[in-house]
Amino acid sequence: MVALQTVLRSNTNIARLPSGLVALFIGATSSGIGEGTLEHFAQHAPAPRIYSVARPQSAAAHEAVLASLRKSNPTTTITLITADISLVSEIDKIVAAVRQKETKLDIFVTSGGFMAFEGLDPSMSTRYYSPLRAAQLLLPLLNAALSPRILAVLAGGHEAQMNEDDLGLRDPANWSYWNAAVHAATMCTLSLERLTRRNPRLSIVHWYPGPVVTPGLAKWYKYGLTPPNQRSQDEGGTRGAFLATSDRYAVHGHGGLVPMPGGLGGVNKSGGGVFLVDADGESIDNEGVLAGYRERAVDAVVWSHTEKVWAECAARKDEL
């Protein structure tokens, strides 16, 4: 386990990184693990240029958070992008806004999304289709950075058997909140592995943060779920900033962010090249599930399904 003190020490060294890091946060509005990660990153980074996404109904509250971040680190430039990531087509708008101003992207943190207990569900778009589309479209900017990193906050290491006949769970008979969580997490890892294989300088961390006390977790209580070992949102954000900036999670030979703290061993990547990381910052081995998917080329099936869904979303938007 990476001790919280080690994480905090590493995060203070974010201040020693070169100035002008560019970072994009999706799912970091007025609360949640993303917001904590944004806060811990923005407070230390020298003159970062940060882009943060909020849907229209959350934009005012998020602007208040951003105003306080600007106060705590006056070297920070933060731009709010208003977009609803339950619509895959809004991702193009987010990427265009960043590309208009930037020629590189150092860090992309995606932590939008929720468990949908109530039925069919934008939770698949917010947790999978939209973040993956953002990652795919952001590749040229990420590849232009010295040590690019994607931190996906979801359920790395918790991949499981999917219904391969209905990857999108479009048939209500196949849908359950649990199946939606499994499909989002498993497709996320398989697709992130595809991205890292094709972009070998890009470090990708798929993190399972464990139970973190956020509005997202509060929804679990309503359904009688009270997971043990809950961590505060501040600790979740502290650990998120560490995972987004520590060279412990760098692609071999492509460090360049915060040097790995002394006393810590390295972490393993999945067979497909992604860091699957648990709540304590350590790697999780889930090859028992993932190797079989790769051997049967299910990752390619997932990718073509994903591209089809993106194309359908774009076509529907054009019809409106």
Ligand X SMILES: NC(=O)c1ccc[n+]([C@@H]2O[C@H](COP(=O)([O-])OP(=O)(O)OC[C@H]3O[C@@H](n4cnc5c(N)ncnc54)[C@H](OP(=O)(O)O)[C@@H]3O)[C@@H](O)[C@H]2O)c1
Which residues of the chain form contacts with ligand X (CB under 6 A)? 27-34, 53-55, 58, 84-86, 111-115, 126-127, 153-155, 208-209, 211-212, 214-217
Instruction: Please give the C-alpha separations between residue 55 and each of 138, 248, 297, in angstroms, as whole numbers.
Output: 20, 33, 36
Q: Residue 161 and residue 174: Cα distance in Å, rounded?
A: 13
The residue among 91, 42, 85 whose CA lies nearest residue 65 is 42
- Which of 209, 164, 195 shows the shortest CA–CA distance to 273? 195
**Identity of the residue, 33 or 258, whose beta carbon is nearer to ligand X in the bound complex:** 33
Assign 3-state DSSP to the chain and report helix, strand, coil percentages, each to 5: 50, 10, 40
CB atoms within 10 A of CB 230: 14
Shortest CA distance to 305 belongs to which of 202, 200, 194, 197? Answer: 194
The crossing angle, in degrees rounded to 10, of helices 33-44 and 233-245 is: 60
Tell me the C-alpha to C-alpha distance, in Å, between residue 156 and each of 63, 67, 148, 197: 30, 32, 19, 17
Output the CA torsion sign for 215, 123, 158, 25.
negative
Contact 99, 91 (CB under 8 A): no
Taking Cα atoms as reference points, which of 274, 231, 159, 285 lies closest to residue 7?
Answer: 231
How far is 315 from 312, CA to CA, in rounded Å? 5
Question: Which of 208, 259, 189 lies closest to 12, judged by CA?
Answer: 259
